[in-house]
Every structure is written in structure tokens, then in C-alpha cells.
Amino acid sequence: MRSLRSLLLAFWRRMRSSGKFMTGVVLLAVLVALALLSPLISTFVGDGKNPLEIAAYPAWEVPSVDHWLGTDRYGRDVMVMTLAGLGTSLKVGVVAGIISTFIGVTIAFVGGYKGGRLDSTLRTATDMFLVVPSLPLLLTLSAYVKRVSVIQIAVLLAIFSWPFAARTLRSHVLSLRSRPYVELARVTNCSDLEIIFQDLVPNLLPYIGVGLAAASLGAIFALTGLEVIGLGPANTIDLGLMINWATSWGALSLGAWPIFVAPIVVLSLLFMAVTMINIGMEEVYNPRLRATAGA
């Protein structure tokens, strides 16, 4: 039985050969680094001012050396706003992704491994959440929950995004629980938790990783959609809120295209990074795709 560390090292050695996976990882790392460095970049751009303060600079300035993406209606630097929005969107995505993946993994492993009535109950609950229309509920909750915070909206998004991961992982658990090494662990009187965490979870790490990435990206785009129609946390700048501002202000007709284009480009890069990571993992772990890619 291999340790978790050895499995992660083996996974990394195997994935390094995938150009698509490495390209996606590098692109995602650059976006995360820009989000983490946004306070430092804000200090450098501001030169003594807070670029996100109202009337910090003249309104509707065109892109220049001082303001690479210009300023918005209230004189705020658009580049700094974009980086701040990227940080907020990533925070929501990570929190929602972790919560939804944790719920999905717990239900999938407990139900898939134990089976019986417990599995039937959890499967029924998962199916109920799958058929519930999440968008109308999110719209209703966002409209009536006033002053919702970033963490609260992340939790709301996570509540409706775990069932797909639970269904997908459950099928893999059902396949793994009859493997010889799991039977051997049962014979040696290992507890259920030991078998799940030492034998099942490490072998499903790639699938858990894909589920986490998909859930995080889905939460980011769900937040963007809520913000575009005027819902969501209004006291924090994120990419969707910038798109909402651009459309409501008529920024394109005023020639202030960066405030509309910048968040869309960043969202596209996020989608591209996660998609390339998923495609790279599919080509490595799916024999049919691996044969096609090799050909």
C-alpha cells in the first residue's frame, strides 16, 4: 500500500509529460500569482493613492502608461479593479469548490463503500439535489438575502454543486471496493475509515482533483452570472460586478472598452487553464484518449 506522498509524486511525474496539463497549470499559477500580488501591484500603481478609491483619478481616462487599462466612471484604476475582482472570484471558487468537493467525496465514499440502505438513502438525496433547479433558487436567495458576504455566497453556491461529483465518484468507489487489496485490508481487521483514507482516496485523487477544479470554475461563473444581473455581494469588487457596471454605464459607447473586455479576458483565461488541465489528465488516464493523442 503506497503512501499519499508517493502517489502524489507518481501522479506529478506522469502528468509532466502532458503539454496541455503543464500549460494549464502554468496559466492557472500566473493568474493565482496576479491575484495574490494585487495588493502590491495596487500600491505600486497608486503611488501614494488607493487606486480603488472613488475620485482617486480623473474619470474615463484612456489606457496610458500611468493607467494601463484606463479608469472607470468614478476614477478608479481598471487594471487594479480587475486584479481585485480576480482575487475575489478565485476566493469564491476555491471556498465553494472545497466545500462542494468535501460533501461530494464524503457522500460518495461513505455510500459507495458501505452500500445497503445507507447508499440508497444518500443516492436518493443526491438525485433530489440533481433535479432541483438551482438557478431559480440562487436568484431567490440572492435577492432576499441582504448584504451577503463573499463566504456566504460561496457556501450557497457549494450547496448546489456537490451532487455531480458525488455521483461520479460513487461509481468509482463501487468498482474499487471489490479489489483484492481492499479485501485484504478487511481481512487484516482495518477499520472502514482506514480503508477509505488509505486505500480508496489515494487511488481516486485525479478524479477528486478534476471534480475540485470543475466545481471551483462552476462557482466562479455562477457568481459572475449573478453579478451580471445585479445580484450577489455588492460591497466587493469581482469580475461579474465589473461586467455589470460596464453594461449599465454604457462603457463601450463611451470608448471605455477595458472595463468590459478585461474581466471577460480573465474569465476566458481561467476557463482555458482549467479545461487544459482536465484535457491533459483525461489524455493521460483515459486509455482511448491516450491512444488518440499518441497517434
Q: Write down the pTM of the prediction.
A: 0.85
In DSSP terms, 77 is beta-bridged to 71
To the nearest whole percent, how much of the chain has pLDDT over 70? Answer: 92
pLDDT over threshold 70, residue 3: no
- Residue at grid coordinates 505600486: 44
CATH of 19-294, one of 2.60.40.420, 1.10.3720.10, 1.20.81.30, 1.10.1040.10: 1.10.3720.10
pLDDT digit string, tens, across residues 15-53: 787 788 899 999 999 999 999 999 898 888 877 788 988
CA-based angle 217:218:222, to the nearest 5? 120
Per mean pLDDT, which range of 180-184, 209-213, 228-232 is the poorest? 228-232
Q: Dihedral of CA 282/29/160/205: which sign?
A: positive
CB 259 within 8 A of CB 78: yes
Please report the pLDDT score of residue 137 as a whole number: 73
pLDDT digit string, tens, across residues 147-179: 777 888 888 888 888 888 888 888 888 888 878
pLDDT-derived band at 295, boundaries 50, 70, 90: very low
